[in-house]
Each structure stands twice: as C-alpha cells, then as structure tokens.
C-alpha cells in the first residue's frame, strides 16, 4: 500500500520541485494537489490521504486555519507543515495545533521523504530542538480530548482504558499522547503526569477553556 | 460600539446646541423696547430682548403698537422709512419653545456622547463638553428650570473635569482642580440672584478670570511647576484650540454684539475664504499646523504597507523559486555545494523579509511575534516575557491587524530603548493580550524615564519615541512612560476595541 500524499502549495516551482524529489520513491504517491485553502478543503473531504504537505501562506487564507479545523478530527491525515519560514514560534503553533512535523521548503529531499514516512505511520517528525522550543506553546489552550487524556494519564489509566473512555481507536489515543509528549517536551507517560501535576495544567484559567469550546 | 460613534454623537450634540443657540437670541420673553405711541419713535432697544433680533432699533417710527395687557399680547410694527419691522410675543414664544427643546436634545446627545466615549477618546469628550456648554447658554438667557440649572451646573463643571482628566498632572492636583472648580461654580449658580444674563458677560469674564487665577494658584501651590504648565499648553492640539476659539467667537458675536444667527454660518465660511485668498502664506501655515500630524500618520501607514508588500514579495517570488530549484537539484548528483549556497541565500532573504515585516505577526499574531523579538533580543540586556494570552492563531481570535502591528512596533521600540539607553540589565514584557483588549507593560531596571524626559527627547529629535506616540494615537491607544522608584522605567500601552 503506497503512502498517499496531498500537496497544498500555490507556488508551481515548489510543487514541481517536491514532485521531482518524490519521483524516486515509489512507495510515496502524490494523490492530489491544491493551490488554495478552498481547494485544499475540497481535496481533504474527497480523497483519503495519509500525509498532507501544507504551506502556511495560501492566496485565500492561512494554512493555520486548516490545522485548526483538522485539530479535533478523530481520524484524518497527518499534517506536515512545509514552510518558507521556520522559527520557534511557528513550531510551537504547529505543535499546539496538532501538526506532526515542520520542515523548511529548502530542506534536503531525504529529510522530507523521511518525515513523510514517519508521519504516515502515526509518528512525529519534529527534531529534538523543535520539541524543546515547543514548550513555549504551553499557553495554548487544551482541547476537550487533550484534557480528558491528560486527566486519564494522571489517574493512571491505560491506553486501552482511554480508548474506551473516548470511544476512539487505540491508534488515535497513541497519536494524541505523542503530540502531548512533544508539546511538553517529555518522553514518557510518567514524565507527562509529573509535568501535568506540577504545572497544574488541568486547572487552566476559565478563559482559556472558553476559548477552546468556542472553536 | 465603535469609538467613532461617540465622536459622531458629540458632533451632533454640538450642532444641535448651536442650532438652539442661534434661535435663542429671540428666546427672551421680554421685548426690551421703550417706545412712544403710534406716530412717535422708538426710544431705546435692549439687545437682550427679542425685538432687537427682528431689527427694531432706536429712532425708527412706530407704525402700530399693541400693549402686553391687550388682547393678543404685545406686538410692534416700525419703519425706518424704507423697511418695515414687525415683532410680537407669539413669535418670541415659538422661538423659545424651539430653543428649549433643541437645548434639551443637545444636552441628552452630549451626555450620550460622553457615556459612549469609553475608549478614552479625548476629542469626543471635548466635543461633548462643548455641546453641554453651548446647550447651557440659551438656558442661561431664558431661565428654564430645572433642566437649565442642571445644564448650567454641568457647563460650569464639565470643562474643569475634562481639563483635569486629560492634562498630565498628579492626582492631588486633579482633585484640587475639580473641587475648586465645583466649589466656585455651585454657589455661583445657586446664588439667590440666579444666573446673571449674558449681557453682563464682562462681569462673568471677570468671575472666570478669578476662577482661573485660583486654579492656577492651587496648581502651582501643589507642585505643578511653570515648565510643566507650559509643556501642558504646548501639548493641547491645534484642532482643540481652534474649536474652542471658534466657539468663543460665536458666543461673543451672538451675545455681546447681538449679531444675527446667520453669523454662525459667516464664522464658518470666513476662514475658508481667507484660506483661498491667502493660500500662499497662511494656507501653508494652517496646513502645516492642522495636517502635519495626519500626514505623518499617513507616512507611517504607507511605509508599513510598503514594507509588508516587499516582505511578501520576497516570500512569494525569490524564496519560492530558490526552494523549487533546490528540490530540482536534489535529483542531480554533485550539486550539494550549490544547494548549500542556495540555502544560505534563502536564509539571507528570510532575514531581510523578517526585518521588513515579521511574517509571524501576520501568520500567528502579536504574542508569538513578540516572543520572537524577546528571543532575539541582543545586547547587554536580558529580556523575558510573561503575558496572559487570550488570543488564538486565527484572525477572528486576534486583535485587528493594524492594532497588532502598531503594538508590535511600540513594544519593539521600547525594548530597543531599554537595551540602548536605560543601562539596565533586565527587561520584562508583562500584561495581557486579548482580541478586544491589549494591556502591556515593558519594564526595565535602568535609569527612570518619565513623560517630561520623553518630551525633551522628542524635542532633541529622538524619532523613536515620537513614532511610538504617533503609532499609539493612530490606533487610539494610550501610551505612557513612568519612572519607577528606586530605578527603572515602565512603558505602558493600552488599547481596547
């Protein structure tokens, strides 16, 4: 089964370049390409893909909006941001919004291919430096699901039990957990639990919670 | 509610007050005429009476006269040999009703204007205060109680409160000013003799001079130095001064010289005519005085637009082309050195684009953009940031773009000043950013800089602080420099949408 990739970018030179870079990798197939936010939304609803290569700056809006919309979906593709700018703030935002990786468009083709394969498996493609920088994203409000999962982790519930609590697949729970690990820069459930307890993450201010439910 | 609504409301109040004022010259219930019987002449006419307004003057011949105790009430017809003049009590009463109704409407509108000017709109409040003052004048003439008394009281105290609110002064001075103004105004109004007719305007001017003198003594006595007063006067905007001057001319013209209501129109048209005739000299001066600020703001706006456009252009064309070429080269052997060179060119272009206009500000918002500034803060000063962030990443969860950019530039400048001039070792950004409210403090631990030193810096040509002020003014935000004890400076910027 080939990895199905969607390209969301409005610059033909970049699209051609990425297509050329992926040509040597028969295990990856470009299933579709969008050059605007609206085209991307259509594509996402019509094609089942594994990974979306997403540019943040699109002619009719921001890729951030797309990440925001996809943030709470149970299934759906992994988002790999492919941007012209890369700073800690961008990485923080991408992690807070549930992206699975963040690369510059000028990155070596090998790195892009490796990131696609990694995220297609449900993994993350952030570098260690990026994850460290992402701790700045801690102020971004938690989603309802993230809150339930953190609460479960704190009460020592297993992944299987969490699967039952949320009514989602085991793979989804694992994906949520790896995102939360990345977000708080921790490696294990225990570390995550300690972090949650120490930072009182479950007692976030009401305003932050309200912002979350408004979304 | 948009802040401009308060301005519109206050302007409307002012217009209605002027309308009320223009009808009030005939609003007196007394004709103010001493005349012989039919066939004789008019002996004396009081400019405060309603007959004066209709053109009745001493020396005119009396054609018809109905005394007040006869049926139909007082009426007079005179002639100066060419024109006939008719005047009667019904017309005066009708005019009085219009005056009272319009005056009341002006008061209500002005109060609404004051109530809705909640985002610290100096101009809107000034207009509303002027509206109250103007609305009070007709009431002063015709003695309409109790609205008239209340309005007069407001007209006495509102300007004092406005001045106390907006001139930079210490709280004790503020309190002293307002209480002195109130202490003088209230007994003056409640005096058994009531309000003096405005015919005695010179007496009242004398009274006002006494009030002003007292206020000045209190102000100086409680610590307002003369320099401070001068700075304060210099800070009053040209537009504010022009509005007050025009109001004064209208009042003096209407009440002291008894000029007809059309005078108001003349006052408005005259400067325009002057402007056209003396365009070369006065025109340029007026233009500089009135439009310089506007033009500077437009220049800032144009510069920012151009920088944003260039930044975007760099992003859209060369950066994308380089990325595309790098990916094409990836497929060819022995191009590794070329690719690395291209990556370094791309990095340089990214730096240029970011310096011109930070992409993070557009893509993610004010707080992430400020985090970037703090992270890259260089020099001898260490910067940290503890800001409560109630915004999100999408546009609808953030303040408007112009507000984000202005606050970003203000904080950036404040950080630069802290690093370059304060001599401190640490600077912290703290406060709150929400979609409809920004409340940020930039606090350093260096030499204290307050508003008076900022004024001095501006006069010495420090463009940074001048542009901070203009940027704050352009988005209707408040900017303040406070020297802290024992050391340090706090730069505050507050905005509400």
Taking only the tens place, the pLDDT of each residue in A67-108 is 988 876 667 899 999 999 988 889 888 888 889 999 999 999
- Buried residues in B35-66 as b, exposed as e (16+ CB within 10 A): beeeeeebeebbbbbbbbbbbbeeebbbeebe
C-alpha dist (Å) from residue B225 to A192, B218, B453:
60, 11, 15
Q: Residue for token digits 């992206």?
A: A99
Q: What is the mean pLDDT of residues A114-139?
A: 80
Close Cβ partners of A111 (under 8 Å, ≥ 6 residues apart):
A103
Residue A82 gets the label, from left (phi > 0), alpha (psi -120 to 50) or beta, of beta
**In a 3-state reduction of DSSP, which class is residue B366?**
helix
The pLDDT assigned to B235 comes to 52
Do residue A17 and residue B343 have CB atoms under 8 angstroms apart?
no
A169-212, pLDDT tens digit by residue? Answer: 777 788 778 778 877 777 788 888 888 888 777 775 433 333 33
Task: Tell me where in chain A the CATH 1.10.10.10 domain(s) lie.
Answer: 142-213
Residues of B in contact with A99 (CB under 8 A): none
Interface A:B, Cβ pairs < 8 A = 111
**In a 3-state reduction of DSSP, which class is residue B78?**
strand
Helix residue ranges per DSSP H, B226-283 = 226-235, 238-251, 262-277
Do residue B394 and residue A93 have CB atoms under 8 angstroms apart?
no
Contact, B384 vs B429, CB < 8 A? yes
* Mean pLDDT across chain A: 83
Q: Residue for token digits 């000028």?
A: A106
Task: Tell me where in chain A the CATH 3.40.50.2300 domain(s) lie.
Answer: 3-137
The pLDDT assigned to B92 comes to 75
Backbone angles phi, psi at A72, to 5 degrees: -100, 0
Contact, A70 vs A98, CB < 8 A? yes
Q: What is the CATH number of domain A3-137?
A: 3.40.50.2300
The pLDDT assigned to B64 comes to 83
The pLDDT assigned to A204 comes to 56
The pLDDT assigned to B217 comes to 46
Do residue A106 and residue B316 have CB atoms under 8 angstroms apart?
no
The pLDDT assigned to A123 comes to 86
- Give me the residue from A68, A109, A136 closest to B327, CB to CB: A109
Which option is the CATH number for A142-213: 1.20.1240.10, 3.40.50.1010, 1.10.3470.10, 1.10.10.10? Answer: 1.10.10.10
What chain A residue is nearest to B343 in terms of C-alpha separation? A106
Q: Which residues in chain B show pLDDT less than 50?
A: 1-2, 119, 191-199, 202, 214, 217-231, 239, 272-279
User: Chain A within 8 Å of B325 (Cβ-Cβ)?
Assistant: yes
- Give me the residue from B324, B371, B395 closest to A89, CB to CB: B371
pTM for the full model?
0.55
The pLDDT assigned to B159 comes to 76
The pairing of beta strand B426-434 with beta strand B382-389:
parallel
The pLDDT assigned to A213 comes to 30
The pLDDT assigned to B363 comes to 92
């Amino acid at each position: 089964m080939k990895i199905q990739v969607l390209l969301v970018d409005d610059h033909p030179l970049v699209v051609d370049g990425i297509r050329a870079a992926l040509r040597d990798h028969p295990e990856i197939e470009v299933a579709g390409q969008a050059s605007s936010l609206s085209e991307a939304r259509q594509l996402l609803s019509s094609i089942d893909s594994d990974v979306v290569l997403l540019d943040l700056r699109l002619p009719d809006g921001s890729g951030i909006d797309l990440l925001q919309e996809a943030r709470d979906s149970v299934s759906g593709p992994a988002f790999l941001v492919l941007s012209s700018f890369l700073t800690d703030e961008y990485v923080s935002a991408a992690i807070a919004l549930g992206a699975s990786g963040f690369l510059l468009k000028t990155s070596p083709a090998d790195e892009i291919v490796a990131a696609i394969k990694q995220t297609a498996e449900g993994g993350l493609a952030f570098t260690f430096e990026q994850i460290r920088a992402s701790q700045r994203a801690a102020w971004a409000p938690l989603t309802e699901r993230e809150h339930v999962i953190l609460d479960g982790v704190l009460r020592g519930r297993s992944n299987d039990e969490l699967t039952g609590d949320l009514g989602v697949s085991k793979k989804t729970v694992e994906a949520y957990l790896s995102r939360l690990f990345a977000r708080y820069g921790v490696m294990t459930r225990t570390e995550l639990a300690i972090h949650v307890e120490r930072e009182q993450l479950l007692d976030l201010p009401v305003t932050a919670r309200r912002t979350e439910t408004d979304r | 509610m948009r802040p401009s609504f308060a301005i519109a409301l206050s302007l409307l109040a002012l217009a209605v007050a002027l309308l009320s004022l223009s009808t009030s010259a005939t609003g007196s219930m007394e004709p103010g005429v001493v005349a012989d019987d039919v066939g004789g002449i008019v002996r004396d006419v009081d400019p405060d009476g309603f007959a004066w307004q209709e053109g009745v003057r001493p020396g005119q011949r009396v054609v018809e006269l109905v005394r007040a105790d006869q049926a139909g009430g007082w009426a007079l017809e005179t002639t100066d040999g060419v024109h006939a003049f008719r005047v009667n009590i019904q017309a005066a009463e009708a005019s009085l009703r219009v005056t009272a109704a319009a005056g009341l409407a002006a008061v209500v509108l002005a109060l609404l204007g004051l109530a809705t000017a909640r985002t610290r709109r100096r101009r809107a409040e000034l207009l509303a205060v002027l509206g109250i003052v103007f609305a009070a004048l007709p009431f002063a003439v015709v003695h309409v109680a109790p609205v008239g008394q209340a309005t007069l009281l407001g007209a006495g105290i509102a300007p004092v409160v406005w001045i106390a609110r907006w001139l930079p002064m210490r709280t004790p001075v503020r309190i002293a000013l307002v209480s002195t103004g109130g202490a003088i105004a209230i007994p003056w109004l409640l005096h058994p003799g009531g309000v003096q007719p405005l015919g005695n305007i010179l007496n009242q001017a004398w009274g006002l001079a006494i009030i002003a003198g007292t206020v000045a003594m209190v102000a100086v006595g409680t610590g307002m130095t003369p320099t401070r007063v001068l700075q304060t006067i210099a800070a009053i905007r040209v537009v504010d001064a022009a509005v007050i001057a025009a109001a004064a001319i209208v009042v003096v013209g209407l009440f002291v010289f008894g000029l007809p209501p059309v005078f108001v129109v003349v006052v408005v048209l005259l400067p325009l005519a002057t402007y056209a005739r003396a365009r070369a000299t006065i025109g340029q001066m007026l233009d500089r005085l009135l439009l310089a600020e506007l033009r500077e703001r437009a220049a800032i706006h144009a510069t920012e637009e151009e920088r944003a456009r260039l930044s975007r252009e760099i992003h859209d064309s060369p950066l994308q082309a380089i990325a595309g070429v790098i990916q094409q080269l990836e497929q060819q052997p022995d191009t590794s050195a070329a690719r690395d060179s291209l990556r370094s060119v791309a990095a340089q272009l990214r730096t240029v684009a970011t310096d011109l206009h930070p992409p993070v500000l557009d893509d993610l918002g004010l707080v992430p953009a400020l985090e970037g500034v703090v992270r890259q803060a260089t020099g001898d000063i260490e910067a940290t940031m503890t800001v409560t962030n109630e915004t999100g990443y999408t546009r609808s969860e953030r303040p408007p773009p112009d507000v984000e950019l202005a606050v970003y530039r203000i904080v950036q400048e404040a950080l630069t000043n802290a690093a370059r001039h304060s001599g401190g070792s640490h600077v912290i950004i703290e406060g709150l950013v929400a979609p409809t409210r920004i409340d940020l403090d930039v606090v350093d631990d260096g030499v204290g800089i307050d508003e008076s030193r900022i004024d001095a810096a501006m006069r010495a040509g420090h463009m940074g602080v001048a542009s901070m002020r203009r940027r704050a003014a352009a988005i209707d935000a408040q900017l303040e420099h406070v020297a802290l004890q024992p050391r340090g400076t706090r730069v505050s910027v507050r905005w509400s949408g």
